[in-house]
Amino acid sequence: MRQRHKPWADDFLKENTQLIVPDVKTKKGKWKEMFGNDNPIHVEIGTGKGRFIAGMAEQHPDINFIGIELGKSIIAIAGSKVKNAGRYNVLLLHVDAADLSELFAENEISVIYLNFSDPWPKKRHAKRRLTFHTFLEQYERILHPEGEIVLKTDNQGLFEYSLVSFCQFGLELTEVNLDLHSVEDPENIMTEYEERFSAKGQPIYRCRAQFS
Ligand code: SAM
């Protein structure tokens, strides 16, 4: 997601450290303390502008959500959305998801959402895809044994690649949906990309996978 630098983003991050958490590596294993309760923690990687995480947090007040996003201006937009919605069950991390094992302890997370992740279509960039086996190794470490990965995308190539990658890694697919919007589902919170692509008539794919 390209986003021009927003001059207010630096100040927003500095002034909202209760929401966009600094020094994230010192919080490894302490995320329940950070939320101040024992509720399960769900992580969205590549949160974008925050429509999904803000909506999920409202729909599920008994779940804690952590959004990870590389783009500074993008996470500032997500932050202002969450702040305006008055949600206290969301924390945002302005970091690269490549370092997940440094952010979370073993079994600390219940669900990982991969929403419209960058597809990296060139073969030589395969290791950057968030479903490349090195990412799956990290997800396995930080996910609770009964935890799951939920992936949504409009990109057929990334979807097919991810299904194969999950199966080769030994994950069990508990859902493979080739047209998520063919049936109305009030539980499905759309992301910004999902809104955009489904408005163009593109099918949205979703799968769920578990390690055990
Ligand atoms: N999930 C949002 C949606 O569906 O509207 C945004 C999708 S956008 C295609 C992908 C987002 O993932 C971008 O905002 C990008 O900055 C972020 N991203 C990509 N790789 C990342 C990484 N390694 N760590 C954290 N964020 C990442």
Residue 3: pLDDT band by 50, 70, 90 thresholds? low
Give the model's pLDDT for residue 2: 59
Q: Whose CA is nearest to atom 11 of ligand 1?
A: 46
DSSP H/E element including 114: strand 109-115
pLDDT of 60 strictly over 90: yes
Per-residue confidence band for 1, with pLDDT thresholds at 50, 70 and 90: low
Rounded to whole angstroms, the Cα distance separating 212 from 44 reads 21
What is the residue with the minimal CA distance to atom 17 of ligand 1? 46
Pocket mutation for ligand 1, best pick of 47, 103, 132 (most atoms within 8 Å of C-beta) = 47
Smallest CA separation from ligand 1 atom 27, residue: 46
pLDDT at residue 7 in the model: 84
What does the pLDDT read at residue 125?
Answer: 98
How remote is the CA of residue 14 from the centroid of ligand 1, in Å?
22
Residue 38 annotated to the active site: no
Q: Which atom in ligand 1 lies closest to the alpha carbon of residue 196?
A: 5
How far does residue 99's CA lie from ligand 1's centre (Å)?
A: 15
Has residue 5 got a pLDDT over 90?
no
Catalytic member of 10, 11, 99, 118: 118
Name the band, by pLDDT with cuts 50, 70 and 90, for residue 205: very high
What angle is formed at CA 133 by the lines to CA 173 and CA 101, rounded to 5 degrees? 105
- If one residue of 6, 20, 42, 69 were mutated to test the ligand 1 pocket, choosing by the most ligand atoms within 8 A of its CB, it would be 69
User: DSSP assignment of 169-193, as one string?
Assistant: TTPEEEEEES-GGGS--TT-PPPHH
Provide the residue type at 21 as one letter.
V
Tell me the pTM: 0.97
pLDDT at 34: 97
Task: Give me the pLDDT at residue 70, please.
Answer: 96
Distance 2 CA to ligand 1 centre (A): 10
Let me know: does 34 contact 27? Beta carbons within 8 Å: yes
Q: What is the mean pLDDT of residues 25-51?
A: 97
Closest Cα to atom 20 of ligand 1: 46
Q: What percent of the chain has pLDDT over 70?
A: 99
What residues line ligand 1, using a CB cutoff of 6 Å? 1, 45-48, 68-71, 74, 96-98, 115-118, 191-194
pLDDT, tens digit, 9 for 90 and up, residues 103-112: 999 999 999 9
Atom 14, ligand 1: residue with shortest CA distance = 48
Q: How far apart are CA 71 and CA 68, in angstroms?
A: 9
